[in-house]
Amino acid sequence: MCSLKVLHPDGSPSRTLLRLMGERGCTRGHLLDYLQTLGNAEALQCLKAPALQVLIQPQSVALVCGHNLRLCCHAVGQSPVQYQWFKSKEEVPNGSAPDLVIAPVDVKDSGFYVCRVNCGDSFEFSQWAQVDVLDVSVPCGQSSEGRLKVAIQPQSQMLHAGQTLQLECGAVGRPIPRYQWHRNGVPVANAKRRKLTIPHVTHDNQGGYRCEIMSGAERTWSKEVQVVIDMGQFDATKGKQALEIRSSLSERRALNDPVQPSDTDQVHSLQWAKAHELPESMSLDFECGAQIKLGFAAEFSNVLVIYTHIIKKPAELSSCQAHVTDFPQELDVDPKEMNRETPEETGVYLLSSSLPQHCLYTRLGSLQKLKEELEFTVYLRGTSPAMDDDDVVCWTKKVNIGKPLIARLDLHEATRQNSCLHTCLMPHSPGQSPATVHRTHQHPKEHPAGLPSPQCHHLHVPAVGGVEHGHGNTGCSKVARSTSMPIEASDDMDELQTAFINSLQLQQS
């Protein structure tokens, strides 16, 4: 009858037999006799009592100094059972009883404990139990075996930037409590210990800290403390009001006063412009008939932006791209951010609205580290309808733009006649928008490496009262520019220097 149960979808001959035996009051011994008669050795092995079995496992606990520690382990076997307690790998003295008692407990007793149980030739180890002893004084008579209770509260701290933050929290309870630190209500990553340590703190580490404590189904919180980073390092002025600076000016002055331009500011702007010369834009002609335009802009005095644009594409090429590469190693340029379609992708934000569109942009930093002239390669790739999709044709050209944005004032050189402003087609300057420049004259000769000769223009500088001043006829077209546009200098440097020195004398008097 039991074997026929196998024909049912959810039938089980074994469960049917056990149910029938239970209804007839059969014991475990009767079942062993039946299985032995049937010769089912595998089933007999499942019902055979183990030679040694640990019934009670020791439990992790957290308590305070001065209380009594008790860890319990109980096992049964076919013969008398022997016990031996261990702390880590060392035997605990007098630890040969089922219960390990340490009275009173001390901080040095913290650690992991395990019990080895022997029965004849068989032995078993209990589970590991963690003991956490808190070094804190508690009122007499308070038991550590009760419910979860916070025994150590964290303390507010005020630190300098770079110091180490250490917060401590502790609770008593069984099983041993678990911890999670929170900052401003957000859990701190990898902060699951009683002690929270953050080396080299910064201003971002300040805020309100508290610890969540859990033990079994119970949960509680420590008090919230404030961690303040005092960014100052000078002990002499710590906690004191800053000194007030007074002057003898006849009129009140403030940092938010509007800027009043003067002749001195004009001289400063022109000297700054002369000290940061940009390379001229240029056109590169390739053998395939393609023509590429190279332009330059300065985001800072040591940051150069190069942008490329294809102004002529041969008819036989279906597509072509121009990239710049092979820059000196001392420059700060990320290969992943070169030849991008938008300035923002290269990290350029100050000039993003003033740069020409539909170009590829590359940002070069650390120009002050440039040891030689800046030389790089323009790499042109093209494909044609007659070629396979994976086949491309490449052309390269070497370009040398000297030392861009080099600080060159020429203050000690002789007076230059017919000095004029050299600009490019698309001029830019550190932190300024591009200015409109009109070309009226080009020199037919070209410099080496395909660089066109500088274009000659004349800068009109507005003087006080709106009167414009300039040099005599020099064969250069006049260009109206804003005096705050530091591209390159134009006036005679001796005149600039004389005006600058006179302005200083006036200020001193």
User: Which two three-digit tokens encode residue 340?
Assistant: 């991008």
Domains, in order of start, for the chain = 3-47 (no CATH), 52-134 (2.60.40.10), 149-169+176-229 (2.60.40.10), 260-277+408-509 (no CATH), 281-400 (2.60.40.3360)
Distance CA 57, CA 40 (A): 34
**Lowest pLDDT segment from 96-105, 382-391, 459-468:** 459-468
pLDDT number for residue 496: 57
pLDDT interval class at 119 (50, 70, 90): confident
Q: What average pLDDT does range 93-100 have in this prediction?
A: 91
DSSP 204-264: GG-EEEEEEEEETTEEEEPPPEEEEE-----GGGTTSPPPPP----SS---TTSPP---HH
Query: Peptide bond before 356: cis, by omega within 30 degrees of 0?
Result: no
Residue 444 pLDDT exceeds 80:
no
Q: What average pLDDT does range 174-186 have in this prediction?
A: 92
Q: Which residues, in sequence order, are CB contacts of 491 under 8 Å at separation 6+?
A: 270, 419, 459, 461, 471
The neighbouring-strand residues paired with 226 are 208
Q: What percent of the chain has pLDDT over 90?
A: 24
Phi, then psi, of 157 in degrees rounded to 5: -140, 150
Buried b (16+ CB within 10 A) or exposed e, 194-208: bebebeebeeebbee
Q: What is the pLDDT of residues 396-436, one digit of tens each?
A: 999 998 888 876 555 555 544 433 333 333 344 443 433 33
Q: What average pLDDT does range 153-159 have in this prediction?
A: 92
Contact indicator for 439, 479 with CB cutoff of 8 Å: no
User: Which two three-digit tokens encode residue 71?
Assistant: 């860890």
Ranges 237-241, 249-253, 388-392, 476-480, most confident:
249-253
pLDDT interval class at 140 (50, 70, 90): very low
pLDDT number for residue 482: 37
The most distant pair of C-alpha atoms in the chain lies apart, rounded to whole Å, by 129
Element at 167 (helix H, strand E): strand 165-168
Q: 213 vs 102, 149, 179, 221, CA distance in Å?
A: 26, 9, 5, 6
User: Which two three-digit tokens encode residue 406?
Assistant: 């080099």
Q: At 84, is the secondary structure helix, strand, or coil?
A: strand
pLDDT number for residue 263: 66
CA-based nearest residue to 495, from 408, 421, 406, 417? 417
Distance from CA of residue 194 to its chain's centroid?
27
The neighbouring-strand residues paired with 140 are none
Q: What is the pLDDT of residues 217-272, one digit of tens each?
A: 889 999 999 999 876 555 555 666 666 666 787 877 778 888 776 666 667 766 66
Element at 507 (helix H, strand E): helix 493-508
**Lowest pLDDT segment from 53-67, 98-112, 374-388:** 374-388
Distance from CA of residue 459 to its chain's centroid?
47
Element at 30 (helix H, strand E): helix 28-38
**Lowest pLDDT segment from 25-39, 66-80, 131-145:** 131-145
Q: What is the pLDDT of residues 494-509, one digit of tens each?
A: 565 666 566 655 555 4
The neighbouring-strand residues paired with 454 are none
Contact indicator for 136, 64 with CB cutoff of 8 Å: yes
Distance from CA of residue 44 to its chain's centroid?
63
Query: What number of CA atoms fall less than 13 Å from residue 89's CA on the CB side?
Result: 0
Distance CA 192, CA 194 (A): 7
